[in-house]
């Protein structure tokens, strides 16, 4: 899946990309199991065709979009994003897709659309992890509408110039480089505009640990570990000191104004 080099500011970081092997074998995708190696082992059962995404809620033009239509909706761009997991590790991934706003605009959200909610597929037949009670399925994530409309918020169909592998959230997912990885919903089947703040799956599971915003922030520790540093997968050696985590994962210049005046310790 080819994409042209993106011109969106901040879309091409200077960091060295993570190896394809690491990026496709070390995944958190609980629908296929809780072990990092589970998605690569079990996601082959996921059927990504036919696939439709329904767009609902506070918008003038709700509807169902076929994956083939979505692939042609806007020009494919390649963007090199940092990915920081809430667990304290990070990667650098060349994603292929386009700004999420391209799709959202088509639905013409109304003035009541204050938030966007993403729902992932939760099919026991295709996803063995959904049988476990780790989370309240289906996986739900959400953004404030201005966050979702930010040009860096990306709708992703591929990585490393290829079609998105199943374990990475095929056939389409979002990538939000300034937020912890779990905010980027995978294998999306529904996008809903809402007036009220959506309740994310992880917030529902442990509210004091996973807030709605979950912006990468070295100054706000997770209750179980510090977020001040991170280990870059494949790059920081076994005995290397971990690297410092950057505010908004290094995207402060682009997204900082979205949170102007907000207490980020309270809105974690």
Partner 1 sequence: MLFLLCLLPLAWLFYAAATNQLGANPAEALIRRLGDWTLRGLWLTLAITPLRELAGLSALARFRRLLGVYSFVYATLHLLAYGWLDMGLDMADIGRDIAKRPFILMGFTAWALMLPLFATSFNKAIKALGAKRWQTLHKAVYAVAVIALMHFIWMRAGKHNFTEPAVYGALLAVLLGWRVIRRLRTA
Q: How far from 84 is each of 31, 182, 195, CA to CA, in Å?
A: 20, 9, 29
Would you count residue 20 as binding partner 1 (CB under 8 A)? no
Would you count residue 205 as binding partner 1 (CB under 8 A)? yes
The interface with partner 1 within residues 64-123 (CB under 8 A) comprises: 87, 89
168 is in an annotated binding site: yes
Q: What is the DSSP string of 162-209?
A: EEPPGGGTSS-EEE-TTB-GGGS--SEEEEEEESSPP--HHHHH-TTT
Q: Which of 82, 84, 183, 231 binds partner 1 (CB under 8 A)?
A: 231
> Using CA atoms, how far apart are residues 199 and 205, in angstroms rounded to an integer?
10
β-partners of residue 192 are 56, 117
- Asked if residue 176 lies in contact with residue 183, where contact means CB atoms within 8 angstroms, the answer is yes
The interface with partner 1 within residues 156-175 (CB under 8 A) comprises: none
Would you count residue 224 as binding partner 1 (CB under 8 A)? yes
> Using CA atoms, how far apart are residues 70 and 241, in angstroms rounded to an integer?
42
Would you count residue 267 as binding partner 1 (CB under 8 A)? no
Tallying the residues shown for the chain, one arrives at 268
Q: How far from 121 is each of 29, 51, 142, 162, CA to CA, in Å?
A: 11, 10, 15, 22
| Least Å from the CB of residue 240 to partner 1 | 8
Would you count residue 149 as binding partner 1 (CB under 8 A)? no
Please identify which residue in the block is written with the tokens 């640990």.
209
Q: How many CA atoms lie within 13 A of 76 on its CB side?
A: 20
Task: Choose the binding region for partner 1 from 43-51, 108-116, 188-196, 203-211 (rule: CB under 8 A).
Answer: 203-211
Q: Which of 41, 226, 257, 267 binds partner 1 (CB under 8 A)?
A: 226
Would you count residue 4 as binding partner 1 (CB under 8 A)? no
Residues that contact partner 1, how many (by CB under 8 A): 28
Q: Which of 195, 225, 257, 262 binds partner 1 (CB under 8 A)?
A: 225
Would you count residue 199 as binding partner 1 (CB under 8 A)? no
Residues forming contacts to partner 1 in the complex (CB under 8 A) are 21-22, 25-26, 34, 36-37, 87, 89, 132, 134-135, 205-206, 209, 221-226, 231, 233-234, 238-239, 241-242
Indicate the annotated binding residues for Mo-molybdopterin: 27, 30-31, 85, 120, 168, 173, 184-186
């Amino acid at each position: 899946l080819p994409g042209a080099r993106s011109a969106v500011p901040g879309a091409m970081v200077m960091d060295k990309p993570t190896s394809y092997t690491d990026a496709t074998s070390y995944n958190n995708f609980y629908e296929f199991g809780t072990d990092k190696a589970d998605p690569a082992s079990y996601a082959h059962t996921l059927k990504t065709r036919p696939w439709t995404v329904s767009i609902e809620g506070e918008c003038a033009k709700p509807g169902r979009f076929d994956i083939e239509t979505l692939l042609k909706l806007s020009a494919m761009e390649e963007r090199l994003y940092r990915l920081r997991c809430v667990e304290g590790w990070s990667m650098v991934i060349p994603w292929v897709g386009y700004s999420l706003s391209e799709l959202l605009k088509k639905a013409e959200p109304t003035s009541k659309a204050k938030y966007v909610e993403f729902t992932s597929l939760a099919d026991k037949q295709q996803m063995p992890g959904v049988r476990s009670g780790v989370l309240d399925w289906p996986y739900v994530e959400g953004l404030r509408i201005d966050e979702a409309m930010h040009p860096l918020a990306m709708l992703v169909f591929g990585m490393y110039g290829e079609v998105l592998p199943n374990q990475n959230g095929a056939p389409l997912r979002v990538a939000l480089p300034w937020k912890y990885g779990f905010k980027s919903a995978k294998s999306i089947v529904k996008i809903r505009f809402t007036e009220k703040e959506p309740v994310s799956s992880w917030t529902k599971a442990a509210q004091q640990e996973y807030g709605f915003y979950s912006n990468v922030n070295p100054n706000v520790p997770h209750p179980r570990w510090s977020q001040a540093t991170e280990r870059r997968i494949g790059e920081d050696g076994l005995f290397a000191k971990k690297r410092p985590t950057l505010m908004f994962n290094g995207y402060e210049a682009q997204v900082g104004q979205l949170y102007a005046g907000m207490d980020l310790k309270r809105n974690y």
